[in-house]
């Protein structure tokens, strides 16, 4: 084999460049602390890294969501605990009213109820970070206001029942508010189904009991008349104990989805609650139609009332009773006791949500740790190994330079 | 045999070795000339003098100066040049494209797309928050800018590829013209029996350079004239040559002859890499990017337009993105000016976040080819990365083969200083011996003259 000088130089340069390229790769990895600095370094790893970074980014968002939602629900819990204290105070006072020694002076109790009403109203209008805790999805509007002229507490919005939903993982959404409607308002939930096979004009009816703020009983008749396919009119009638009609209205166009059978709109509005107020009789309740559906099976309408009347107007009625020198009726005592139980149930529900959020946060923390570890093993440089490789590559390069300085300049000319 | 013949024999030796020294000198002088092939002096005896039954040698002469070259290796080098420079060009350009995506990093489109969807999730938490609404708009702007920068980057690369293809066409024309000139010179030297070794070296160097740009077919005729075709189209022979140009037909480039527009069917060389990138790979990448962005825009708009803003009065039917064209993903001006135009409420109330949640859920929705946008994007990047790796590996393989062929060529044709110095010493000795012979002959002649 002939070995011309150019071959010697060329071979040396090829090997030298190879050594330098190795050295450069190790240096890049060491300085960036990453084995994958561009997709073509390792397409498979790059794909995994992008997916894991995406997952981590999602986890950071969910953690942030949980933190906010937890603070929000905890603030609502604080407000409800304050309400619970006030309700307990009223219950104690009502127990004291049964004592003979307080018979002569009911006005101080009336004042106390008034003060409790103010506090309850203030707590019902409490806000967190600018959003009213019990405002439903109308979180920018104060949920309740005291109409002192008519001596009534009114709901300020039709959206007190709006649920605030947060995503706490890629597959879990969680409601993180207690709605003003479910906590304070009297809600008649209409469940079951209408029979879609019945013809136009046929009515499907149901009946239930509703109450005024003093606990008096009324009959609520609901008649659904089919006006077209998947469309009904709802006529509601409220009758007093003597069967006198005290209210009668019709709500048009309850539209159901032809495929799912779910209620889509009421009179063109996506809101599925009908707020019924009869101020003359102190009747104030909501008909919630969100669970009502239409199916091709026999009509099966059921319903339930969460509480007889809203606590504010119950307390206003209680105060009026006290101001008139009478002791609270049994119905009024029962309604306040019922609200107390209702409040405790909502507190328990809120505590459950808070615990669930805490648990979800811990799961996310574990997941974050696992993915971060995987990401590190996929991406990060083993510094010790890289330093050893660097030493080795540097050593090889040094030898190459040394050898070249010894060999390359030599030729026969040096010895002639 | 007369004594004077000793002089003529010595003289032939002096001349022959002087010529051999000249060849060796040329070899030494060109030791670092990569195009040069070493030359070897071939000595031959001069026709003998027949006297009776005896024959007497009459001296030495240089019969030939041979150019040491293996044409098989040359052909192999040219064939590998086609493959190497094709792959090398593709991997270089695609690496430039790859860098546009800034992956895997927080500035990459993958992160920006995720941030965009996450920002809806965050806004869902507090739909009235001005800062969270602004955050959605900003994340959309960052995404839009990234899309624009990638699109512009690929488009600019296409323009650069077009410019480079034109530059290479000019180089091809220059080489073809030079080949034509060298062919003529070789022919002229050949027909009068002159050595054309240096011209042939020059010609082979030009052919090797040409094979870096395009796939060529070379045949050498009996006069050492090279007939060359480029991608099946005649380029040069001993008498004629053609000039080439880049022809742009719509959005497709091809290499054609200037006079009659004959299209070269390229299969190798950097020109083939460039044209393939311009005609196929880069448009495909732009199409994929467009498809991703349009899918994103349409799906976001379909959901967003259902929602209600929290402006006064409340508005609905608002598109989040107002258009996408030539890499520009336009965000609704009204939203940019007032983030309260973000329509994330399903029922018009300020606290309703259903639309935001629906938009955030797009991250996990299979919107394109049965996969999520993130998965589609990841596949897009992986395809580019795999393509680069493929071409890099091919280029490295061909480079290895090329360096081995180069070694083979150098082993055979390269100048060895040691070898040439030995030749110098050898020729010097022979020259000295011839000179000494003249001295001896002279002394013999003087001896004879003293007898007279």
* Nearest Cα to Cα of residue B385 among A44, A35, A54, A29: A44
Q: How much is the pLDDT for A407? A: 72
Question: CA separation (Å) from B368 to A45, A326, B351, B373, B421?
Answer: 23, 72, 31, 7, 72
A131, A218: one domain: no
Which residue of B351, B381, B410 is in closest CB contact with A6?
B410
Domain annotation covers residue B408: no
Among the candidates A309, A341, A360, a domain finishes at A309
Q: How much is the pLDDT for B132? A: 93
Is B98 in Cβ contact with A40 (below 8 Å)?
Answer: yes
* Nearest Cα to Cα of residue B148 among B23, B286, B258: B286
SS3 assignment, position B63 = strand
Domain annotation covers residue B337: yes
Q: How much is the pLDDT for B348? A: 82
Domain that holds residue A340: 34-182+314-380
Res. B134: pLDDT tops 80: yes
A232, A98: one domain: no
3-state percent breakdown (helix, strand, coil) of chain A, nearest 5: 50, 25, 25
Q: What is the mean pLDDT of chain B?
A: 93
Read off the pLDDT band of A400 (50, 70, 90).
confident
How many domains does one find in chain A?
2
A11 contact residues in B (CB cutoff 8 A): 407
A209, A254: one domain: yes
Is B111 in Cβ contact with A47 (below 8 Å)?
Answer: no
Is A412 in Cβ contact with B417 (below 8 Å)?
Answer: yes
% residues pLDDT > 70 (chain B): 100
B212, B350: one domain: yes
Convert the pLDDT of each residue in A198-243 to its tens digit. Answer: 999 899 999 999 999 888 999 999 999 999 999 999 999 999 999 9
Q: How much is the pLDDT for A104? A: 62
Convert the pLDDT of each residue in B36-66 to its tens digit. Answer: 999 999 999 998 888 888 888 889 999 999 9
Please name the residues in contact with A132: beta carbons below 8 A apart, sequence gap of 6 or more: A125, A126, A139, A140, A141, A142, A143, A180
Domain annotation covers residue B38: yes
**Residues in A 255-284 with any Cβ partner in B closer than 8 A:** 269-271
B294, B321: one domain: yes
Is B115 in Cβ contact with A159 (below 8 Å)?
Answer: no
Spatial separation of the C-alpha atoms in residues B269 and B83, rounded to whole Å: 6
Res. A100: pLDDT tops 60: no
Domain annotation covers residue B49: yes
Q: How far apart are the first and last CA of chain B?
A: 20
Res. A289: pLDDT tops 80: yes
A195, A53: one domain: no
Convert the pLDDT of each residue in B195-229 to its tens digit. Answer: 889 999 999 999 999 999 999 999 999 889 999 99
The residue of chain A nearest to residue B387, with distances taken between CA atoms, is A40
Is A136 in Cβ contact with B378 (below 8 Å)?
Answer: no
B40, B162: one domain: no
A166 contact residues in B (CB cutoff 8 A): 124-125
> Which of B104, B392, B412, B420 to probe by mutation at the A interface, max A CB count within 10 Å?
B104
Domain that holds residue B426: 3-68+414-451
Res. B425: pLDDT tops 60: yes
Spatial separation of the C-alpha atoms in residues B4 and B444, rounded to whole Å: 10
B389 contact residues in A (CB cutoff 8 A): 40, 43
Domain annotation covers residue A74: yes
A207, A121: one domain: no
Domain annotation covers residue A4: no
B362, B219: one domain: yes
Question: CA separation (Å) from B396 to A210, B91, B216, B392?
Answer: 85, 11, 22, 6
Q: How much is the pLDDT for B262? A: 94
B7, B122: one domain: no
Residue with the bigger pLDDT between B2 and A91: it is A91
A:B CB pairs within 8 Å: 179
DSSP state of A40: G
Domain annotation covers residue A363: yes
The residue of chain A nearest to residue B352, with distances taken between CA atoms, is A137
B104 contact residues in A (CB cutoff 8 A): 36, 39, 46, 49-50, 53, 379
Cβ(B229)–Cβ(B216) under 8 Å?
yes
Number of DSSP helices (H) and strands (E) in chain A, helices first: 7, 16
Q: How much is the pLDDT for A126? A: 94
The residue of chain A nearest to residue B413, with distances taken between CA atoms, is A4
A3 close contact with B: CB closer than 8 A: yes
Q: How much is the pLDDT for A103? A: 58
Domain annotation covers residue A2: no
Domain annotation covers residue A392: no
Distance from CA of A50 to the nearest CA of B (A): 6
Convert the pLDDT of each residue in B26-44 to its tens digit. Answer: 999 998 888 899 999 999 9
How many domains does one find in chain B?
2
A210, A267: one domain: yes
A35 close contact with B: CB closer than 8 A: no
Distance from CA of B63 to the nearest CA of A (A): 24
Is A7 in Cβ contact with B357 (below 8 Å)?
Answer: no
A221, A88: one domain: no
Is A58 in Cβ contact with B410 (below 8 Å)?
Answer: no
B108, B29: one domain: no
Read off the pLDDT band of A148 (50, 70, 90).
confident
B44, B190: one domain: no
Q: pTM to 2 decimals?
A: 0.83
B57, B143: one domain: no
Res. A105: pLDDT tops 80: no
Torsion sign (Cα): A94, A99, A102, A106? positive
A137, A227: one domain: no
A221, A287: one domain: yes
Spatial separation of the C-alpha atoms in residues A33 and B384, rounded to whole Å: 24
Cβ(A187)–Cβ(A305) under 8 Å?
yes
Res. A342: pLDDT tops 90: yes
Domain annotation covers residue A226: yes
Distance from CA of A279 to the nearest CA of B (A): 26
Average pLDDT on B87-107 reads 93
Please name the residues in contact with B418: beta carbons below 8 A apart, sequence gap of 6 or more: A411, A412
* Nearest Cα to Cα of residue B360 among A362, A290, A65, A375: A65
* Nearest Cα to Cα of residue A4 among B27, B232, B106: B27
Q: Nearest 5°: phi and psi at A327?
A: -85, 160
What CATH number is attached to the domain comprising A155?
Answer: 1.20.1330.10
B386 contact residues in A (CB cutoff 8 A): 40, 43
Is B412 in Cβ contact with A47 (below 8 Å)?
Answer: no
A172, A97: one domain: yes
* Ramachandran category for residue A269: left, alpha or beta (phi over 0 → left; psi -120 to 50 → alpha): beta
B62, B81: one domain: no
B38, B88: one domain: no
B122, B176: one domain: yes
B390, B435: one domain: no
Q: What is the mean pLDDT of chain A?
A: 90
A59, A134: one domain: yes
Cβ(A397)–Cβ(A20) under 8 Å?
yes
Convert the pLDDT of each residue in B313-369 to its tens digit. Answer: 889 999 999 999 999 999 999 999 999 999 999 888 888 889 999 999 999 999 999
Average pLDDT on A395-415 reads 80
What CATH number is attached to the domain comprising A272?
Answer: 2.60.98.20
Domain annotation covers residue B174: yes
Domain annotation covers residue A298: yes
The residue of chain A nearest to residue B124, with distances taken between CA atoms, is A166
Domain annotation covers residue A173: yes
The residue of chain B nearest to residue A66, with distances taken between CA atoms, is B125
Convert the pLDDT of each residue in A16-52 to its tens digit. Answer: 888 999 999 999 989 989 889 999 999 999 999 999 9
A319, A334: one domain: yes
């Amino acid at each position: 084999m002939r070995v011309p000088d150019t071959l010697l130089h060329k071979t040396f340069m090829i090997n030298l460049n190879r050594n330098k390229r190795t050295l450069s790769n190790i240096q890049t990895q060491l300085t960036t602390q990453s084995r994958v600095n561009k997709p073509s370094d390792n397409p498979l790893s790059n794909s995994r890294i992008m997916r894991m970074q995406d997952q981590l980014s999602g986890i950071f968002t969910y953690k942030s969501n949980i933190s906010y939602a937890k603070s929000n629900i905890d603030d609502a819990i604080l407000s409800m605990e304050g309400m619970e204290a006030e309700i307990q105070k009223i219950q104690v006072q009502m127990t004291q009213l049964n004592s003979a020694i307080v018979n002569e002076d009911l006005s101080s109790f009336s004042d106390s109820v008034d003060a409790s009403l103010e506090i309850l109203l203030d707590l019902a209008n409490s806000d967190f970070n600018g959003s009213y805790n019990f405002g439903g999805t109308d979180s920018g509007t104060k949920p309740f206001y005291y109409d002192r002229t008519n001596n009534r507490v009114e709901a300020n919005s039709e959206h007190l029942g709006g649920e605030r939903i947060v995503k706490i993982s890629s597959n879990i959404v969680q409601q993180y508010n207690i709605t003003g409607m479910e906590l304070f308002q009297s809600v008649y939930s209409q469940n079951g189904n209408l029979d879609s096979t019945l013809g136009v004009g046929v009515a499907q009816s149901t009946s239930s009991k509703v109450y005024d703020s003093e606990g008096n009983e009324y009959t609520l008749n609901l008649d659904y008349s089919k006006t077209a396919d998947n469309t009904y009119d709802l006529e509601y009638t409220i009758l007093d104990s003597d069967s006198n009609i005290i209210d009668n209205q019709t709500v048009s166009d309850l539209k159901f989805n032809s495929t799912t059978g779910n209620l889509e709109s009421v009179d063109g509005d996506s809101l599925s609650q009908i707020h019924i107020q009869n101020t003359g009789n102190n009747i104030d309740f909501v008909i919630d139609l969100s669970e009502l559906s239409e199916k091709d099976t026999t009509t099966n309408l059921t319903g339930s009332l969460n509480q007889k009347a809203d606590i504010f107007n119950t307390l206003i009625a209680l105060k009026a009773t006290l101001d008139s020198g009478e002791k609270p009726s049994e119905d009024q005592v029962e309604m306040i006791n019922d609200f107390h139980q209702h409040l405790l149930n909502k507190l328990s529900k809120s505590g459950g949500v808070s615990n669930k959020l805490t648990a979800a946060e811990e799961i996310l923390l574990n997941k974050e740790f696992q993915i971060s570890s995987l990401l590190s093993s996929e991406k990060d440089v083993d510094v010790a190994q890289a330093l050893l490789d660097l030493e080795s590559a540097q050593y090889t390069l040094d030898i190459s330079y040394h050898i070249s300085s010894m060999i390359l300049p030599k030729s026969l000319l040096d010895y002639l | 045999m007369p004594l004077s013949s000793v002089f003529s024999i010595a003289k032939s030796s002096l001349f022959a070795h002087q010529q051999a020294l000249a060849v060796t000198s040329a070899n030494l002088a060109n030791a670092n000339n990569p195009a040069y092939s070493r030359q070897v002096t071939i000595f031959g005896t001069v026709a003998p003098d027949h006297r009776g039954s005896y024959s007497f040698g009459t001296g030495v002469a240089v019969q030939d100066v041979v150019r040491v070259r293996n044409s098989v290796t040359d052909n192999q080098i040219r064939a590998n040049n086609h493959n190497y420079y094709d792959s090398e060009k593709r991997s270089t350009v695609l690496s430039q494209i790859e860098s546009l995506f800034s992956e895997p990093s927080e500035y990459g489109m993958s992160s920006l797309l995720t941030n965009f969807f996450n920002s809806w999730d965050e806004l869902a938490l507090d739909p009235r928050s001005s800062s969270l609404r602004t955050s959605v708009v900003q994340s959309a702007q960052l995404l839009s800018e990234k899309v624009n920068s990638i699109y512009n980057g690929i488009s600019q690369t296409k323009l650069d590829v077009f410019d480079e293809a034109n530059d290479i066409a000019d180089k091809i024309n220059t080489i073809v013209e030079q080949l034509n000139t060298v062919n003529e010179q070789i022919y002229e030297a050949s027909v009068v029996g002159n050595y054309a070794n240096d011209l042939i070296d020059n010609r082979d160097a030009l052919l090797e350079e040409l094979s870096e740009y395009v796939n060529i077919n070379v045949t050498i005729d009996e006069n050492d004239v090279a007939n060359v075709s480029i991608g099946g189209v005649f380029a040069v022979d001993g008498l004629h040559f053609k000039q080439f140009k880049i022809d742009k037909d719509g959005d497709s480039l091809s290499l054609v002859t200037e006079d009659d527009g004959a299209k070269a069917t390229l299969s190798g060389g950097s020109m083939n890499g460039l044209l393939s990138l311009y005609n196929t790979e880069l448009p495909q990448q732009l199409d994929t990017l467009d498809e991703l962005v349009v899918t994103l825009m349409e799906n976001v708009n379909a959901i967003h337009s259902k929602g209600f803003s929290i402006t006064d009065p409340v508005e609905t039917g608002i598109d989040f993105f107002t258009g996408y064209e030539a890499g520009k993903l336009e965000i609704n001006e009204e939203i940019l000016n007032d983030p309260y135009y973000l329509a994330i409420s399903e029922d018009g109330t300020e606290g309703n976040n259903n639309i935001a949640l629906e938009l955030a859920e797009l991250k996990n929705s299979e919107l394109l080819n049965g996969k999520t946008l993130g998965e589609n994007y990841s596949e897009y990047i992986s395809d580019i990365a795999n393509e680069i790796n493929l071409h890099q590996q091919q280029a490295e393989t061909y480079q290895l083969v090329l360096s081995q062929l180069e070694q083979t060529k150098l082993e055979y044709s390269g100048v060895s200083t040691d070898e040439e110095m030995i030749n110098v010493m050898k020729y010097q000795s022979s020259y000295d011996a011839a000179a000494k012979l003249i001295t001896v002959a002279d002394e013999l002649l003087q001896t004879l003259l003293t007898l007279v």
